[in-house]
Amino acid sequence: MSLHAVSSEKMPAQTVVSVMAQMPLFKCVGPEDRARLAAVSRIVRFARGERIFDQGDPSDLFYVVVSGFVKVFRPNLSGHDVILEMFGAGSPLGAVALFQSKPFPASAAAIEDTECLAIPRADFFSLLESEPALVRGLLGSLSLRLVQLTTRLEELSGGRIEARFARLFLKLGDQMGVKAPEGLRIPLALSRQELADLLGTTIETTIRTMSRWNKDGVLLTEKDAFVIFDRPFLESLAAG
């Protein structure tokens, strides 16, 4: 079983139901079906940097991020990791591999301390086969994730590098930004190498871009966060 967690916990089913009710993925799933899923699910905790699954692992668990942030990545032809996407609370992980009964095509690791809902594949599919309403409830959400991943691959493959940086920080700001007196604070720690991997560029380019933005008062890097000072500037870059 592809489980690398520091700890897992079999919470009371009602607690898991409450967690599911807050997730967009399960919003269209009825209360009875959420209860059935909760009965076979558990909450798994991962420390920052810990692998959730590795590329090639069997997709024997269906993961949904409860809290924290996860990066999904795989090596390119030169051997460097390319981050395909980052997922926050409510996002499913490895759903396509799960439904196709194939090994995970990429690796996933926690960017910060993270909790995931883990549903064993056999139990998940048993419920899907016996409860058609559950299938209908999940299809819309999973289809949306496929569209988002396709968009992400298009963003990686083209456009000026600064535009890619701008789109990334605007997206992170929309997902998890917190208003602060100095600007929009994104409480997420990403190294220069992780940013380079995420945007498909070199660490040297990343360092130059981030240093220039810091000097120009566009975006500040803190120990555990980024602060957007000049959102209009990023928006103009992203549109270019």
Give pLDDT tens digits for 179-200: 988 899 998 888 898 888 878 7
Q: Is residue 90 left, alpha or beta, with left meaning phi > 0 and alpha meaning psi from -120 to 50?
A: left
Q: Residues 6 or more apart from 12 whose CB is under 8 A from it? A: none
Residues 153 and 192 in one domain: no
Taken as a whole, the chain contains a residue count of 240
**CA 71 to chain centroid:** 6
Residues 125 and 167 reside in one and the same domain: no
Could you say which of 157, 175, 199 is where a domain stops?
Answer: 157
Regarding whether 196 and 114 lie in a shared domain, the answer is: no
Q: Which long-range contacts (CB under 8 A, 24 or more apart) does 176-182 make?
A: 176/69, 176/88, 177/228, 180/227, 182/220, 182/227, 182/229
Same domain, 12 and 123: yes
- Does any domain span residue 1? no
- Whether residue 2 is contained in a domain is answered as no
Low-confidence ranges of the chain (pLDDT < 50): 1-2, 6
- CATH number of 118's domain: 2.60.120.10
CA distance 4 to 14: 25
Q: Provide the number of structural domains found in the chain.
A: 2
Clarify whether residues 137 and 212 are in a common domain.
no
Do 144 and 184 share a domain, yes or no?
no
227/137 Cα distance (integer angstroms): 37
d(C-alpha 97, C-alpha 198), whole Å = 21
Torsion sign, CA atoms 168, 171, 177, 183 = positive
Output the six-digit token pair for 206.
Answer: 């990343």
Question: Are residues 112 and 165 both part of a single domain?
Answer: no
CATH of the domain at 233: 1.10.10.10
Q: Which of 157, 178, 203 is the last residue of a domain?
A: 157
Distance, CA of 185 to CA of 177 (rounded, Å): 5
Q: Does residue 167 share a domain with residue 145?
A: no
What residue type is 116 in one-letter code?
C
Same domain, 141 and 178: no
Domain ends where: 125, 157, 189?
A: 157
d(CA 90, CA 113): 15
Three-state SS at 184 = strand
pLDDT of residue 1: 44
Whether 153 and 165 map to the same domain: the answer is no
Same-domain status, 39 and 111? yes
Residue 6: per-residue pLDDT: 46
In a domain, 211, yes or no: yes
By the 8 A CB rule, do 217 and 230 touch?
A: yes
Packing angle, helices 161-176 and 231-239, rounded to 10: 130
Q: Tell whether 171 and 219 lie within a shared domain.
A: yes
Residue 190: strand, helix, or coil: coil
In a domain, 72, yes or no: yes
Q: Which domain holds residue 104?
A: 7-157
